[in-house]
Amino acid sequence: MKPTNIKDPEYFHKVVDCQYACPAHTPVPEYIRLIAAERYGEAYMVNWESNVFPGVLGRTCDRPCEPACRRGRVDEEPVAICRLKRVAADNKGDVSAAMPVAPDIKKQGRVALIGAGPASLTVARDLAPLGYEIDLFDDQPLAGGFMRSQIPVFRLPPEVLDEEVGFVLDLGIKQHFRHYVDSLGAVLEKDYDAIFVGTGAPRGSDLSIPGREEADKHIHIGIDWLASVAFEHLSKVGRRVLVLGGGNTAMDCCRTARRLGGEDVKVVVRSERAKMKASPWEIDDAIAEDIPIINNHVPKEFVHENGKLTGVRFTVVDVVYDDGGNRKLVPTGEEVFFEADDVIIAIGQDNAFPWIERDIGLEFGKWDMPVIDPVTFQSTNPRVFFGGDAAFGPENIITAVAHGHQAAISMDRFIRGEDVHDRPAPGVTLVSQKMGVHEWSYDSAVSLEDRFPVPHVDKTLALKDRKVEVELGFDRAVAYREAERCLNCDVQTVFITDKCIECDGCVDICPTECINFLPNDEEAALRTKLRMAADELDQDLYVSDALAQTGRVMVKDENVCLHCGLCAERCPTGAWDMQRFLYQVTKAGQPCSQSKR
Amino acid sequence: MTYIKPAFRHPKAPVNDLGWTRQDYEGGLSTLCAGCGHDSISAAIVDACFQLNIEPHRVAKLSGIGCSSKTPAYFLSGSHSFNSVHGRMPSVATGANLANRDLIYIGVSGDGDTASIGLGQFAHGARRNLNMTYIVENNGCYGLTKGQDSATMDTGSVNKKGDRNLSTPMDVARLAIEVGATFVGRSFSGDKEQLVPLIKAALSHRGFALLDVISPCVTFNNHQGSSKSYEHFRSVKEVMPLDFVPVREEITASYASGTTCEVRMHDGSMVRLHKQDSDHDIEDRQSALQAIAHYESQGKVLTGLLYIDRDSEELHDQLGTARRPLNTLTEQELCPGSKFLDSINAGLR
Convert the pLDDT of each residue in B226-246 to its tens digit.
Answer: 999 999 999 999 999 899 988
| A91 CA: distance to closest CA in chain B (Å) | 28
- Is some CB atom of chain B closer than 8 A to the CB atom of A73? yes
The domain ranges of chain A are 100-202+351-415, 208-345
- In this prediction, residue A306 carries a pLDDT of 85
Q: What is the mean pLDDT of residues B34-58?
A: 96
- Separation between Cα atoms, residue A392 and residue A21, nearest integer Å: 19
Q: Tens digit of pLDDT for each residue in B261-299? A: 888 888 888 888 888 787 889 999 999 999 999 999 999
AA letter at A59: R
| B224 CA: distance to closest CA in chain A (Å) | 13
- The residues that bridge with A580 in the sheet, in sequence order, are A431, A491
B36: which chain A residues are within 8 Å (Cβ-Cβ)? Answer: 503, 505
In a domain, B124, yes or no: yes
- In this prediction, residue B261 carries a pLDDT of 82
Orientation angle between helical segments A28-36 and A476-483, nearest 10 degrees: 130
- Separation between Cα atoms, residue A246 and residue A243, nearest integer Å: 9
A74: which chain B residues are within 8 Å (Cβ-Cβ)? Answer: 8-11
| A571 CA: distance to closest CA in chain B (Å) | 6
Work out the burial of residue B197: count CB atoms within 10 Å of its CB; fewer than 13 is exposed, 13-18 middle, 19 or more buried.
buried
Number of folded domains that form chain B: 1
10 Å Cβ neighbour count for A142? 18
For residue B122, pLDDT beyond 80 = yes
Q: Where are the beta strands (DSSP E) in A452-591?
A: 491-495, 515-518, 541-543, 553-557, 576-584
Going by C-alpha positions, the residue among A134, A198, A121, A203 that lies closest to residue A166 is A121
AA letter at B182: T
- In this prediction, residue B130 carries a pLDDT of 97
For residue B180, pLDDT beyond 90 = yes
pTM metric for this prediction: 0.90
Evaluated on CA atoms B153, B155, B157, B163, the torsion sign reads positive
AA letter at A399: T
For residue B256, pLDDT beyond 60 = no
Confidence bin at B258 (pLDDT 50/70/90): low
- In this prediction, residue A243 carries a pLDDT of 97
- Separation between Cα atoms, residue A270 and residue A329, nearest integer Å: 8
**Regarding beta strands B301-308 and B237-239, do their DSSP bridges make them parallel or antiparallel, or are they unpaired?**
parallel
Which residues in chain A (285-344) have CB-CB distances under 8 A to chain B? none
CB B120 within 8 Å of CB B128 = no
- In this prediction, residue A592 carries a pLDDT of 64
- Separation between Cα atoms, residue A72 and residue A480, nearest integer Å: 19
Q: Tens digit of pLDDT for each residue in A52-102? A: 999 999 999 999 999 999 999 999 999 999 999 999 999 999 999 999 999
- Is some CB atom of chain A closer than 8 A to the CB atom of B234? yes
Percent helix, strand and coil across chain B, each to the nearest 5 = 35, 20, 45
Q: Say which residues have a Cβ less than 8 Å from residue A191's Cβ, sequence separation at least 6.
A: A110
For chain A, list residues with pLDDT below 70: 592-597
| B75 CA: distance to closest CA in chain A (Å) | 11
- In this prediction, residue B248 carries a pLDDT of 66
- The more confident residue out of A84 and B4 is A84
Going by C-alpha positions, the residue among B236, B239, B233 that lies closest to residue B277 is B239
Q: What is the mean pLDDT of residues B188-213?
A: 96
The region that residue A52 occupies, defined by phi over 0 for left and psi between -120 and 50 for alpha, beta otherwise, is left
Q: What is the domain range of residue B155?
A: 22-323
- Is some CB atom of chain A closer than 8 A to the CB atom of B224? no
Q: Place domain A100-202+351-415 in its CATH homologous superfamily.
A: FAD/NAD(P)-binding domain (3.50.50.60)
Mutate to test the interface with B, among A504, A515, A529 (most CBs of B within 10 A): A504
The H-or-E segment that residue A257 falls in is: helix A248-259
Alpha helices in chain B (DSSP H): 37-51, 67-70, 89-99, 111-115, 119-127, 172-179, 192-204, 230-236, 285-297, 315-319, 331-334, 338-348
What SS3 state is found at B102? Answer: coil
- Separation between Cα atoms, residue B198 and residue B179, nearest integer Å: 21
Going by C-alpha positions, the residue among B56, B153, B161 that lies closest to residue B110 is B153
B9: which chain A residues are within 8 Å (Cβ-Cβ)? Answer: 74, 511-513
- In this prediction, residue A25 carries a pLDDT of 97
- In this prediction, residue A523 carries a pLDDT of 96
- In this prediction, residue A57 carries a pLDDT of 97
The architecture (CATH level 2) of A208-345 comes to 3-Layer(bba) Sandwich (3.50)
CB A146 within 8 Å of CB A200 = yes
The H-or-E segment that residue B304 falls in is: strand B301-308
End-to-end alpha carbon distance in chain B:
75
Confidence bin at B115 (pLDDT 50/70/90): very high
CATH assignment at residue B79: 3.40.50.970
In a domain, B188, yes or no: yes
CB A442 within 8 Å of CB A582 = no
In a domain, B344, yes or no: no
Length of chain B: 349
Confidence bin at B252 (pLDDT 50/70/90): low
- In this prediction, residue A352 carries a pLDDT of 85
Strands of the sheet with A515-518, listed across from one edge: A515-518, A553-557, A541-543
AA letter at B320: G
- In this prediction, residue A597 carries a pLDDT of 39
Give the A:B interface size as CB pairs under 8 Å. Answer: 108
| A309 CA: distance to closest CA in chain B (Å) | 54
Nearest residue on chain B to A550, alpha-carbon basis: B234
Domains A100-202+351-415 and A208-345 share a fold: yes
Going by C-alpha positions, the residue among B115, B219, B233, B131 that lies closest to residue B182 is B131
Give the CA-trace dihedral at B85, B87, B88, B90, to 10 degrees: 140
In a domain, B286, yes or no: yes
In a domain, B329, yes or no: no
Mutate to test the interface with B, among A570, A576, A577, A578 (most CBs of B within 10 A): A570
Q: What is the mean pLDDT of residues B36-54?
A: 97
- Separation between Cα atoms, residue A75 and residue A294, nearest integer Å: 31
Work out the burial of residue B201: count CB atoms within 10 Å of its CB; fewer than 13 is exposed, 13-18 middle, 19 or more buried.
buried
Q: Which residues of A425-437 are buried (b: 16+ CB within 10 A; e: fewer)?
A: ebebebeebbeee
Of B10, B35, B43, the CB nearest to A572: B35
B237: which chain A residues are within 8 Å (Cβ-Cβ)? Answer: none
In a domain, B88, yes or no: yes
Mutate to test the interface with A, among B1, B2, B214, B232 (most CBs of A within 10 A): B2
Q: For chain B, give the mean pLDDT.
A: 93
Q: Which residues of A505-542 are buried (b: 16+ CB within 10 A; e: fewer)?
A: bbbbbbbbbbbbbeebeeeeebbeebbbebeeeebbbb
